[in-house]
Structure 1
Amino acid sequence: MRTRTQKVGTRTKRWRQGPKNGNENPKNGGEDPKNEDKNMKNEDEVPKNGDKNLKVGDKNPKDGDEGPKNEDEASKNGNKNPKNGDEDPKDGDTEDEDTDGDDDTEDDDDTEDEIGDASDTDEELADPDAPSDPENLGAACDPDDPCDPDDPYDDPDDPGDDLEAAYAAGDIGDTEEVAPCYSFPCYRWLRGFGTWELPEGSAKTPTQECHPLLRRHRRRALAQQQRRYRNLETKLKGFLDRPMSWESIEAITRVFCFYRTPVTEYVVRHWRDDAFFGEQYLSGVNPVLLRRCPRLPPNFAVTPPMVAPSLGPDTCLQREMEKGDVYLADYSVLDGIPGVLIDGSPTFVCAPLCLLHQRPDGKLLPLAIQLSQQPGPVFLPRDPPWLWALAKAWVRSAEFHVHEAVSHLLRAHLLGEVFALATRRQLAPRHPLHKLLLPHTRYTVHIAVLARRFLLNPGGVFDRAIALGRRGLLRVVARGLRRLRYGDLVLPRDLRRRGVTRTRGYHYGQDARRLWAAIRSFVDGMVRLYYPCDAAVRDDPELQAWVVEIFHKAFLGRRRSGVPSSLRTLRELVTFVTMIIYTCSAYHAATNSGQFELGAFMPNLPAAMRRPPPRSKAPLSEADFLGALPAVNTTCITLGVLWVLRNEPLDMRPLGSYPEEHFTEEAPRRLLGAFQRRLARISRRVQRRNAALPLPYPYLDPAAIENSIAI
């Protein structure tokens, strides 16, 4: 928020946004503005709409003290200056620039209407060395200008201190010289109610910070940043050089406890529970893998008698599959990918099959696990406890690899990068789709560059802590791209294809459907403003070049992917644009936001298994279990990466934010307002549901969804 401030000597006068009603005059202690100027001209002298650079004081050069009849009339006739800091000296001295659109007449209680009533705080915070130049350019004052910064107005009872009279008498020249604008930048996302301290925006070194209050504010802000970015480093000191097994589960918990949320606490308490294992397919960081299983795969060695005890006496496997309550998680994309050497020791990757059953109460429980794509040992819930825990850990490790390589990196970041570059290369800045999509590509290319430089580089994090390694990761990405279909990216088709439209407790599916519908409705309205018919879509050369680039750069021109290489109808265009916005916002949030909370406790999402998958059902101990999990140092490296990924940018923009206002027409603005209101209703609905859940699913709350792939 910017506050217009008049510096007079050591005192500071601030003007608020304006009176709440029209019969108050902030300059004259509440006097009726009708009595202020007796020589008011008729309303024909007020500038007409569109003359935004015409100043009120220029209406009659002979009468410099004249103004509009009232404030409302001036505001109706376009007396605005689009450039910050260039306000008109005659009509801008009674108003603040309110960038957030709120009425600040009651909020700025510390603002005084008269110079003599300036508070002590204002006196202390006024910079005695502040230049009279409103842009702080350091230019010397004109010696003929009556605004001399060395001429203090100290006496509040002196008529010379009445700025209104001074302006009318011509004793004060251009307001640009006397009334600078002080900026108080925020650049952070504020939630809820509270008090935020925002220092004035001028850059200052620590030695230049003179006021004690501002020095304290500076120290607090620095300490907060240090806690945020160094807390993890402090906790992990001494662990990064320990390539050995963890001593116990409790030891992992002690390292992990530096950052706690309700979700992280839930993970620590329930990571071994079968119900939590199954719930993560519905509300975890990879909620797009689960599919209904109408029949058993031929390479899965499970038989109905094996799972009968888990199903209960009144049903059987065939009946449950016919009802649609049996699901399969298939990690075949990992088949044959070798692990890398970490600290000179081998690591291992497997491609398991996991069969799950949803009970009438909605709980999704594992029935059987096979740790390869070839028939082999089938692990069951009634096996020895640590053996069953290890089988689930192997599945969770495969989940880590598929999520990072395919669901997150490929489908969000790499596709999002192509969408962003094609939009900039093929659509002119004035194209409506360029204006619509630009906010959804913010930081996307920059984040992709950072990932290649620090995560995917040779010898980087994936080579040092992840069993796939960099080369294995890229092989999985290539396989995932060959399998990717257009229907996987169009949410309603994906849910139908996987058979999960009626799955109970599927919070991702429920929230995603509402978001998709809201985005599609918004896109449909925007598209139809500029494309009246199908022929307009076909005849747009920029649009067609944009689609062709996406088809060739993102999907390598593979027609079997189902991705269109041209768009022929309005319906196709709406679906395609909706897919892009959804992928760059809601889908990325679903696969990114919960990584730290669900994966930082390593046994729940191990990144590098150090022993081969078990081939027998011999009982295991806790030490055997820990010996197969990642070592201490690799655990901490992975934890550090997840910590970085969880830190949202300080200037986070939630879904539906378009602060740059690329569209200037009224119709797109109305559609945007309706879209934002619909998102607000979805947000309230998500929050009400989460309040009643033991494990909330907040990742598709529109208020928590970044508008673009910015992290």
Structure 2
Amino acid sequence: MEDLSAAMAKTKGVTMVELNGNKTKTIKGRVVLMKKNLTDMTDPAASLLDRVRELLHHRVSLQLISATQVDFANWKRGKLSMPAYLEDWVATLVPITAKEATYSITFEWDAETMGVPGAFIVRNHHHSQFYLKNVTLYDDHGSPWVHFDCNSWVYPTNRYTYNRIFFSNKSYLPSETPEALRDYRMEELENLRGNGRKGELKEWDRVYDYAYYNDLGSPELGQGHARPVLGGSDKYPYPRRGKTGRAPNRKDPNTESRLHGLDVIFLNIYVPRDERFSTVKFWDFLAYFVKAVSQTMGTVLDDHNILEFHSIQDVLNLYEGHIKLPKNDTLKGIRDVIPWTLVKELLRNDGEKFMKFPIPAVIKEDKNAWRTDEEFARETLAGLNPVVISRLREFPPTSKLDPEEYGDQHSSIRKDDIEKNMDRSVKQALDENRLFILDHHDGLMPYLRRINSTSTKTYATRTIFFLQDDGTLKPLAIELSLPHPQGDKHGSVSKVFTPENDGIGKSVWQLAKAYVGVNDSGYHQLISHWLNTHAVVEPFIIASNRQLSVLHPIYKLLHPHFRDTMNINALARMLLINANGIVELTVYPRKYALEMSSAIYKSWNFTEQALPADLLKRGMAVKDSRSPNGISLVIKDYPFAVDGLEIWSAIETWVTEYSSFYYPSDTAVQTDSELQSWWEEIRNEGHGDLKDKPWWPEMRTKHDLIQACTTIIWMASALHASVNFGQYPYAGYLPNRPTVSRRFMPESGTKEYAELEKNPDKALLKTITPQDQTMIGVSLIEILSRHSADEIYLGQRDTLEWTSDEKPLAALERFRDRLIEIEKNIATRNSDSNLKNRTGPVNVPYTLLYPNTSDYSGEGGLTGMGIPNSISI
């Protein structure tokens, strides 16, 4: 209670005013909020109607709750002040765009008898909602006394069956909560759980609950639009998503009905209102979406045949258009009328090309370097999917698929295939930890027969690399496998291809690398990106809001890392990963995309999401007690791992210092009722299909808590940044990262083989992603690769007053200082010519794990750097 005692001491001499002949003590307050404005197209009359309500004395009131003095007549809850009202609402103009406004408020409050406020009740009697940012109370000297960090939308009182309560920025473990606030703390959590609320949830509802992924299909449109329910079964396990409560589909009661009409146009899918994009973020997203559509349409209009690219130059023309708007200042005034992002992207006044895609980094300096074996190999270590490659520990590579069901699936690559391209034997290379594999065989093979029954024609691939003396990888062999034509139990049919430098052999090898790219692109989008960050993190968000009070220190630690994730996941279910959505249209598994990710989720392991554990599992590191993280990298120049381990260590140190302030012992962890309920719900509900797995931490020690929180923050921040923001730089140029293959490797003597021999590029383009799908896919990843203007990065908080505890504040400063040091280290490594994997033949520095602490107030965009706190796109 030291902070409360100190706050009490600051109230001596509070202001006395005359009220009805009696002297009454008062305290002043400042309320910062954001009204609805003209950019909210759904309710343009909101401001006027709020003013009318204000004039009719239907106002916004706040009522303080004491944290130190209880009212025995009110079930020992904190004493309440009289309601106080926001001042000068009518006189305060509403800005056209989303901006904060500040209001004064005066409370009747006698600190000697009422103590220190620890919470307040807000009642909104206006027509429309407002965003309440914070409230600060001042002592009689004008110094801040108590601060409330709110950051929440407050709807009119008729939308709630309970009082909206906000707590001060002091953290308490459940057992340490002042008696005056305990009931309020518990009731707020009950409200957020929804108490089993049934029916469709509305935008003002604040309910966090779980549901299966049963909203992806539209079975009423026919069998081709139906999709299995993911989650709740051994056949299709999956993380839980946020509940919307929509009615069952009229064709299939196990499927939730989908949105239609205006709800789709306005992206109006339910998530708790505080989880939705900010106004700035929404307009950014909308602007990028409209711009992407205009680019796609503009390019389609340029070509009578929208199905195929005829040459590599056709692809390059996507970025090398000639439509420009002149540089001038005539548009500057418009930015005050509608969001500037929309102006900037649709009416360019900076000389950039209009209705054309930005040039992807991979072809910016050299249009052909992506073709090289060196770049093909380097991108497994420093590209957009550097989390799959593993060390080869036995030869030939083996399969873990059940031979009773899938027959012999072991690799057909032999020693002769690879020894001809390295200066030692396979045994020597294995003993020296020089052989590595990009293995997409087992994950794809069970689905390959069905996938190839669609328009996709592809292979399950294995690619073997050799670690050279200069630290770079050299591809040695690619194996392309198909299910046996006589049935799965007969195993696979495979062909092995090795590098060739000229003639038809060179063209065949280039095509083999394209099939590997197709496999890796699909795995990246569905597993590395969607499943292992977006989908698996959402249950942690739901459980945190249901079981951890906003007063809880672990809630305050994790909450910044959950920003916008439920919203972007909901939009993904609406537009991207749904039946016949953009992912199914542009990524090779087609209608089996999410079903395939469910199969891979079966082997998901929370503890292995920690970076050191992941590297050990993949054999990319070995245990080493002398190293900072207890491991030593097998490939010293592995940019993702080198930068990632520094980021991981910084996060772990920050979490350790923060948690140790609140948890002095293991007993404190064990006796924290909210923490134990939180962890139990994550395991049994959020990831309920894996609840019986033995790898779940028990949450009995400080070490358990620190490792769990570090892993969650890593997944939501750095891991997501590493697999998301490289999409446009590398995959914005589809020949480098094709997402679809439409025909098999041509056989000698066929017309396709003759075409490959005569015109390799045309044969390649006829095999990989066609033009129309390229347009859609590139438009999507341009949106996903952009940082929004209001991005909040690792080491940053949206307010400096998120806690009143000084030691956690100091620990956060040290965390940020460490991130600045890491930036310098990354810049140094990127400029070291001896580290060839840092930039490669394409000369693209590895910056995907560059924290970018200096760009906290930047305008966002395709920066290719910066680690947002959360999965915000």
Same fold (TM over 0.5): yes
**Within 5 A, what are the aligned runs for 1:523-672?**
523-558=655-690, 561-564=693-696, 566-614=698-746, 620-621=756-757, 622=760, 623-660=762-799, 661-672=801-812
- CA deviations over 1:517-567 (Å, ceiling 9, x no partner): 111111111111111111111122211221122223454343674442631
**The one of 630, 651, 660 aligned to 1:519:** 651
**The one of 459, 466, 479 aligned to 2:587:** 466
Checking the alignment, whether the CA contact within 8 Å between 2:363 and 2:370 is kept in structure 1 is no
Alpha-carbon distance change, 594 to 53 in structure 1, aligned in 2, over 3 angstroms: farther
**Within 5 A, what are the aligned runs for 1:333-372?**
333-338=443-448, 346-372=455-481
1:673 and 1:445 map into 2 onto residues whose CA distance is 28
State the secondary structure of the residue aligned to 1:356: strand
- CA deviations over 1:652-711 (Å, ceiling 9, x no partner): 111121123332111111111111111111122223333454321111011201110100
Q: Percent identity?
A: 27
| Greater alpha carbon shift after TM alignment, 268-277 vs 579-588 | 268-277
Corresponding position: 1:483 with 2:592 = no
- The structural deviation recorded for 1:338 is 4.3
Query: Residue type matched to 1:682 in 2?
Result: I
Alpha-carbon distance change, 542 to 669 in structure 1, aligned in 2, over 3 angstroms: same
Match for residue 701 of structure 1? 850
Corresponding position: 1:419 with 2:518 = no
Q: TM-score, normalised by structure 1?
A: 0.67
Alpha-carbon distance change, 180 to 52 in structure 1, aligned in 2, over 3 angstroms: farther
Query: Residue type matched to 2:850 in 1?
Result: D
The alignment yields a C-alpha RMSD, in angstroms, of 3.8
**Within 5 A, what are the aligned runs for 1:237-252?**
237-238=300-301, 242=305, 244-252=307-315
Match for residue 165 of structure 2? none
State the secondary structure of the residue aligned to 2:307: coil
Corresponding position: 1:391 with 2:515 = no
Query: Residue type matched to 1:658 in 2?
Result: R
- The structural deviation recorded for 1:591 is 0.8
Checking the alignment, whether the CA contact within 8 Å between 1:285 and 1:594 is kept in structure 2 is yes
Alpha-carbon distance change, 489 to 439 in structure 1, aligned in 2, over 3 angstroms: same
Match for residue 270 of structure 1? 369
| Greater alpha carbon shift after TM alignment, 389-398 vs 599-608 | 599-608
Checking the alignment, whether the CA contact within 8 Å between 2:362 and 2:370 is kept in structure 1 is no
Alpha-carbon distance change, 229 to 253 in structure 1, aligned in 2, over 3 angstroms: closer
Corresponding position: 1:50 with 2:212 = no
2:774 and 2:689 map into 1 onto residues whose CA distance is 39
| Greater alpha carbon shift after TM alignment, 358-367 vs 656-665 | 656-665
1:557 and 1:543 map into 2 onto residues whose CA distance is 21
Alpha-carbon distance change, 182 to 672 in structure 1, aligned in 2, over 3 angstroms: farther
- CA deviations over 1:481-528 (Å, ceiling 9, x no partner): 112223430111111221212213211001110111111111111111
- CA deviations over 1:438-468 (Å, ceiling 9, x no partner): 1110111001100000012222113333221
Alpha-carbon distance change, 235 to 54 in structure 1, aligned in 2, over 3 angstroms: farther
Alpha-carbon distance change, 498 to 184 in structure 1, aligned in 2, over 3 angstroms: same
State the secondary structure of the residue aligned to 2:494: coil
Alpha-carbon distance change, 566 to 613 in structure 1, aligned in 2, over 3 angstroms: farther
2:461 and 2:844 map into 1 onto residues whose CA distance is 26
- The structural deviation recorded for 1:583 is 0.4
Which structure: greater strand fraction? 2
- CA deviations over 1:367-419 (Å, ceiling 9, x no partner): 00001273521100027111101100000000011111111111100011111
Task: Give the unaligned 5+ runs of structure 2.
Answer: 1-6, 18-26, 34-49, 56-86, 101-283, 321-356, 399-409, 483-491, 621-632, 833-838, 853-865
Paired residue total: 530
- The structural deviation recorded for 1:350 is 2.2
**The one of 549, 554, 557 aligned to 1:433:** 554
Match for residue 378 of structure 1? 496
- The structural deviation recorded for 1:231 is 6.0
Q: TM-score, normalised by structure 2?
A: 0.55
Checking the alignment, whether the CA contact within 8 Å between 1:267 and 1:604 is kept in structure 2 is no
Alpha-carbon distance change, 526 to 82 in structure 1, aligned in 2, over 3 angstroms: farther
- CA deviations over 1:181-215 (Å, ceiling 9, x no partner): 99898989xxxxxxxxxxxxxxxxxxxxxxxxxxx
Corresponding position: 1:306 with 2:417 = yes
**The one of 798, 815, 833 aligned to 1:675:** 815
State the secondary structure of the residue aligned to 1:706: coil
2:506 and 2:435 map into 1 onto residues whose CA distance is 23
Alpha-carbon distance change, 616 to 285 in structure 1, aligned in 2, over 3 angstroms: farther
Match for residue 132 of structure 1? none
1:239 and 1:408 map into 2 onto residues whose CA distance is 33
Match for residue 222 of structure 2? none
Checking the alignment, whether the CA contact within 8 Å between 1:462 and 1:468 is kept in structure 2 is no
Alpha-carbon distance change, 358 to 187 in structure 1, aligned in 2, over 3 angstroms: farther
- The structural deviation recorded for 1:616 is 6.5
State the secondary structure of the residue aligned to 2:741: coil
**Within 5 A, what are the aligned runs for 1:274-285?**
274-285=373-384
- The structural deviation recorded for 1:54 is 5.4
Checking the alignment, whether the CA contact within 8 Å between 1:354 and 1:366 is kept in structure 2 is yes
Task: Give the unaligned 5+ runs of structure 1.
Answer: 1-46, 60-78, 86-134, 141-174, 189-220
| Greater alpha carbon shift after TM alignment, 357-366 vs 387-396 | 357-366
State the secondary structure of the residue aligned to 1:311: coil
- CA deviations over 1:613-662 (Å, ceiling 9, x no partner): 45669673323222211221111111111111112222111112112333
- CA deviations over 1:290-319 (Å, ceiling 9, x no partner): 11112221422222222233213xx22221
- The structural deviation recorded for 1:476 is 1.7
1:460 and 1:637 map into 2 onto residues whose CA distance is 11
State the secondary structure of the residue aligned to 2:790: coil
Query: Residue type matched to 2:534 in 1?
Result: H
Alpha-carbon distance change, 377 to 364 in structure 1, aligned in 2, over 3 angstroms: same
1:137 and 1:518 map into 2 onto residues whose CA distance is 52
Corresponding position: 1:510 with 2:636 = no
1:243 and 1:137 map into 2 onto residues whose CA distance is 55
Corresponding position: 1:325 with 2:437 = no
| Greater alpha carbon shift after TM alignment, 566-575 vs 365-374 | 365-374
State the secondary structure of the residue aligned to 1:286: coil
Alpha-carbon distance change, 184 to 364 in structure 1, aligned in 2, over 3 angstroms: farther
**The one of 467, 474, 498 aligned to 2:618:** 498
Corresponding position: 1:232 with 2:381 = no
2:495 and 2:422 map into 1 onto residues whose CA distance is 20
Match for residue 358 of structure 2? 259
Which structure: greater helix fraction? 1
